[in-house]
């Protein structure tokens, strides 16, 4: 490594101390020879792996939060309140419904009054559980949208102000690389960026390589549509043939990527987006996923309670079995 490159690397190491591992800038990386790049990537990868190992150890040593019976549970007040209301409504209904019968299992009231009182109990239960279901449906929709955004949304939200500034500065030439490099070289470019771990570069590559993949997908779809029209063109006359030719010309202007190249680049784009979002994004996604699962369980419990309350035959048989006055 030349004296100038060594000095630049030392400066970069000092400037990126907050990154916790060695990270040359994109300009410095471009100025290095092939051997110097290999050495820089190996050093960056090794130091980053050591940092991640230290971080993982520290996280494992943190005390676990709210637990019950050795398992973590959601302390989301909305979902906890919804679950509580379903349980209380079901218990109230069972208690009040039981009070409609004497100890021998016969109704306490006339048929008309018994029907009216039971209908009132149903109405109150449905009011509470219906409101709970609306609340839970809203939570499910919100958590689903949040998960979709974390998985597919713009990683721009994860960038700090400093990272956003750097991403803006390098945006033009990264965009040019993403659009112009041959697929094999573009794969290597993305792999090198992942090794270096520079978040602004990863953000720009994920964004513009993703756009190239989208353009390739549109070109393929246009080609399929053109082929379908070509099969029926002889039956539609000259105007259709002209349309097929125009679509074929538009298709030829699109980036050409094989299936294997699209798959390789797609996986790299997903990995770069995940790296940009970082550990915090993964933790947020996991917490949101847990909330979504809990909300789905509460919705299922509310539906089961509703079915139980609105099954008079099953309730009556259960009551008579418990009193010893009924047997199969």
pLDDT at 242 over 60: no
Q: How confident is the model at residue 109 (pLDDT cuts 50, 70, 90)?
A: very high
> Beta strand 67-68 with 71-72: parallel, antiparallel or unpaired?
antiparallel
Maximum mean pLDDT: which of 42-51, 61-70, 180-189: 180-189
Q: What is the mean pLDDT of residues 173-192?
A: 91
* Dist CA 192 CA 174 (whole Å): 13
* Dist CA 189 CA 192 (whole Å): 5
Q: What is the mean pLDDT of residues 72-88?
A: 76
Strand ranges for the chain from DSSP E: 67-68, 71-72
Other C-beta atoms closer than 10 Å to the C-beta of 280 total 9
CB 76 within 8 A of CB 294: yes
Least confident of 101-115, 143-157, 258-272: 143-157
What is the per-residue pLDDT across 188-224, written as a single tens digit (0 to 9) for each? 999 999 998 888 999 889 889 989 998 888 888 887 7
CB 191 within 8 A of CB 271: no
CB 302 within 8 A of CB 90: no
**Reduced to 3 states, what is the DSSP secondary structure of residue 71?**
strand
What is the per-residue pLDDT across 218-241, written as a single tens digit (0 to 9) for each? 888 887 777 777 776 666 555 544
Give CA separation, 141 vs 130, 134, 135, 181, 303, in Å.
17, 11, 10, 41, 17
**Reduced to 3 states, what is the DSSP secondary structure of residue 182?**
coil
pLDDT at 252 over 50: no
Q: How confident is the model at residue 2 (pLDDT cuts 50, 70, 90)?
A: very low
* Dist CA 149 CA 130 (whole Å): 29
CB 215 within 8 A of CB 255: yes
CB 246 within 8 A of CB 222: no
Quote the distance between the C-alpha of residue 63 and its chain's center: 26
- pLDDT, residue 233, reads 64
User: Which residues make beta-bridge pairs with 101?
Assistant: 107
pLDDT at 328 over 50: no
- pLDDT, residue 15, reads 38
CA dihedral (42, 44, 47, 53) positive or negative: negative
Q: What is the mean pLDDT of residues 271-286?
A: 78
Q: What is the mean pLDDT of residues 273-294?
A: 80
* Dist CA 114 CA 101 (whole Å): 9
For the residues of 7-55, what is the DSSP string, one character each? HHHHHHHHHTGGGSS----HHHHHHS-HHHHHHHHHHHHHHHHHHHHHH
* Dist CA 43 CA 29 (whole Å): 13
> What's the whole-number average pLDDT of the chain?
74
Question: Which residues neighbour 127 within 8 Å (Cβ) at sequence distance 6 or greater?
Answer: none
pLDDT at 17 over 60: no
- Residue from 181, 196, 155, 174 nearest 28 by CA: 196
**Reduced to 3 states, what is the DSSP secondary structure of residue 101?**
strand
């Amino acid at each position: 490594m030349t004296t100038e490159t060594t000095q630049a690397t030392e400066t970069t190491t000092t400037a990126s101390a907050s990154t916790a591992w060695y990270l040359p800038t994109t300009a410095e990386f471009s100025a290095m020879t092939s051997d110097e790049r290999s050495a820089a990537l190996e050093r960056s990868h090794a130091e980053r792996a050591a940092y991640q190992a230290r971080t993982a150890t520290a996280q494992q040593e943190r005390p676990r939060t709210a637990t019950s019976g050795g398992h973590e549970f959601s302390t989301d007040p909305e979902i906890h309140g919804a679950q509580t209301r379903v349980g209380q409504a079901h218990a109230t209904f069972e208690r009040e419904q039981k009070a409609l019968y004497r100890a021998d299992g016969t109704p306490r009231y006339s048929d008309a009054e018994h029907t009216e009182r039971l209908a009132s109990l149903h109405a109150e239960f449905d009011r509470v559980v219906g409101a709970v279901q609306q609340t839970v449906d809203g939570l499910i929709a919100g958590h689903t949208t949040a998960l979709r955004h974390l998985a597919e949304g713009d990683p721009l939200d994860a960038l700090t102000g400093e990272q956003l500034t750097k991403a803006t500065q390098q945006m033009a030439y990264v965009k040019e690389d993403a659009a112009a490099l041959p697929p094999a070289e573009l794969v290597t470019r993305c792999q090198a960026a992942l090794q270096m771990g520079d978040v602004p570069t990863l953000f720009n590559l994920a964004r513009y390589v993703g756009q190239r993949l989208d353009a390739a997908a549109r070109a393929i779809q246009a080609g399929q549509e053109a082929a379908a029209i070509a099969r029926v063109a002889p039956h539609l006359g000259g105007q259709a043939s002209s349309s097929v030719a125009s679509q074929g010309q538009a298709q030829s202007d699109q980036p050409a990527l094989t299936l294997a190249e699209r798959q390789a680049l797609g996986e790299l784009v997903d990995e770069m987006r995940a790296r940009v979002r970082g550990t915090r994004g993964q933790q947020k996604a996991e917490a949101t996923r847990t909330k979504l699962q809990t909300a789905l369980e509460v919705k299922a419990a509310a539906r089961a309670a509703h079915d139980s309350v609105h099954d008079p035959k099953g309730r009556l048989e259960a009551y008579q079995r418990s009193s010893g006055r009924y047997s199969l």
